[in-house]
């Protein structure tokens, strides 16, 4: 499967201009150029782009990124090293965030409320969603059928990737909560937008439906339990963020 430069830009968040620059300097060549003059990318190029973005986040310059990628022919080994560096950077930033949170609490003259955040890689590993099929079919028949079609089109690897991304998103929300970030803060709204997009993978909730979904995360003990596994109070924070996002950015 091929993706145009515009599609890659949308998926990755990298501008088409930057992708053309990467082509010009030899950092990321497209798989081919179509008769229309457009650049097209295959999976191999997307994997290389992922490495470029990871190394860029770690502070490397473009020349060093090219050297690092081209010197390691084993893609899996390279990704493992980059993953380890990202984990280290994540932990470093988490320590910085905790320090800032303590400083804020001190300046505001109130005791710091410690929030313990668990950080599993895949909270939903081994989860069997079929146990909820009958209930979902009865409550949301049209959305259920769409979600079923989507699930049937996914490989086990696709499902695991989605589960890991969902887990990581919950942890990021817990970090906002721990830092005392208001749910209508632009950064929280942007993170909630990513949650809404992940839901749209299965069905597309409007303002009312998305707000109700957030309330269900709190009212339904089965959903709330998943959020509590990450941090106490996270379900309520997530629901409030979803309500704020729905009010600010969605319509009925």
Q: Which residue has the higher pLDDT, 161 or 100?
A: 161
pLDDT tens per residue across span 56-74? 887 778 888 888 888 877 7
Scanning 108-140, the segments in alpha helix (DSSP H) are: 133-139
Identify the weakest region by mean pLDDT among 112-116, 158-162, 203-207, 237-241. Answer: 112-116
Instruction: Determine which helix (DSSP H) or strand (DSSP E) holds 33, and give its type and residue range.
Output: strand 32-33
CA-nearest of 88, 41, 48 to 68 is 48
Q: Strand, coil or helix: what is 92?
A: helix
Half-sphere exposure at residue 208, Cβ-oriented, CA atoms within 13 angstroms: 1
pLDDT (0 to 100) of residue 96: 76
- pLDDT digits 0-9 by tens, 88-135: 888 877 877 877 776 666 666 654 556 778 877 766 555 455 555 565
Q: Decide: 58 and 86 in contact? Cβ < 8 Å.
A: yes
Alpha helices in the chain (DSSP H): 5-12, 16-24, 43-57, 62-70, 75-107, 133-139, 141-152, 156-178, 186-200, 207-219, 221-230, 234-249
Strand order in the sheet with 3-4: 3-4, 39-41, 32-33
152-183 burial code (b ≥16 CB/10 A, e <16): eeeeeeeeeebbbebbbbbbebbbbbbeebeb
pLDDT in tens, 6-50: 999 998 889 999 999 999 999 999 999 999 899 999 999 998 998
Per cent of the chain over pLDDT 90 is: 42
Q: Which structure tokens are listed for 161?
A: 């990737």
Specify the pLDDT at position 202: 81
- Average per-residue pLDDT in the chain? 84
Distance CA 30, CA 35 (A): 14
């Amino acid at each position: 499967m091929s993706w145009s430069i515009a599609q890659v830009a949308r998926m990755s968040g990298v501008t088409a201009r930057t992708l053309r620059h990467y082509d010009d300097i030899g950092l990321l060549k497209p798989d081919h150029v179509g008769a229309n003059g457009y650049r097209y990318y295959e999976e191999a190029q997307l994997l290389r782009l992922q490495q470029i973005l990871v190394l860029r986040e770690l502070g490397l310059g473009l020349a060093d990124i090219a050297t690092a990628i081209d010197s390691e022919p084993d893609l899996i080994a390279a990704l493992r090293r980059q993953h380890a560096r990202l984990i280290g950077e994540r932990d470093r930033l988490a320590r910085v965030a905790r320090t800032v949170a303590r400083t804020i609490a001190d300046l505001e003259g109130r005791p710091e409320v410690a929030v313990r955040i668990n950080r599993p890689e895949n909270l939903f590993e081994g989860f069997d969603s079929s146990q909820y099929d009958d209930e979902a079919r009865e409550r949301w028949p049209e959305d259920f059928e769409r979600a079923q079609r989507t699930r049937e089109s996914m490989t086990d690897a696709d499902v695991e990737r989605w589960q890991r991304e969902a887990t990581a998103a919950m942890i990021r929300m817990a970090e906002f909560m721990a830092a005392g970030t208001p749910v209508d803060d632009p950064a929280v709204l942007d993170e909630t937008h990513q949650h809404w997009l992940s839901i749209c993978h299965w069905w597309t909730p409007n303002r009312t439906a998305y707000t109700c979904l957030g309330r269900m995360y709190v009212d339904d003990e089965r959903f709330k339990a998943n959020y509590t596994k990450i941090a106490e109070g996270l379900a309520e924070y997530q629901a409030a963020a979803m309500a704020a996002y729905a009010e600010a950015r969605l319509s009925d």
